[in-house]
Amino acid sequence: MNISEKDFKNGVGLADGDVVNVVSENGGKEQQTYFSLAIQAITKITLGSFRSRLKLAEKVAIVEAAKLDSETLVIEADLNNSSHIDLDSLDLQWGMSLLVQKGLITQERLSIILKDGESHEAF
């Protein structure tokens, strides 16, 4: 089967393992096997990327609460001393949920803060 380079790149009408003749713009043909790209979620992000997800008011609330509350202090210390943030970590999810319970961030903001990372945030 002949297919254009553009259709090959976009997988138009193709399934993994299909062998096709890819026709270039100048008319040349090259036999290639199609495989779709597997896109993996980015769940490990840099500490800076994680901190940039928090609003200034949320950061201030956490710092102020940490002065009076040992649970918040431990969560803040764990986050600030991490080489990276694993968004799938149950400890992170538990800690952030605790910050919601304490009124330091909202449930709506939690889902934004813990969403999968983007390529520029990857650790």
12-24 residue pLDDT tens:
889 889 999 999 8
Q: Is residue 39 part of a domain?
A: no
Percent of the chain with pLDDT over 70: 100
State residue 7's pLDDT score.
87
Q: What is the pLDDT of residue 40?
A: 83
Residue 38 lies in a domain: no
Give yes or no: residues 24 and 51 share one domain: no
| Residue 60 within a domain | yes
Evaluated on CA atoms 96, 98, 104, 109, the torsion sign reads positive
24 shares a domain with 59: no
Mean pLDDT of 28-50: 90
| Domain match, 77 and 116 both | yes
> What is the pLDDT at residue 38?
74
pTM above 0.75, yes or no: no
Q: How confident is the prediction for the chain on average, in pLDDT?
A: 94
pLDDT of residue 22: 94
Residues 24 and 63 in one domain: no
d(CA 122, CA 26): 38
Task: State the total domains in the chain.
Answer: 2
**Alpha-carbon gap, residue 89 to 28, rounded angstroms:** 50
Give the model confidence (pLDDT) of 43-89 as tens digits.
Answer: 999 999 999 999 999 999 999 999 999 999 999 999 999 999 999 99
Range of the domain at 60: 44-121
Same-domain pairing of 29 and 54: no
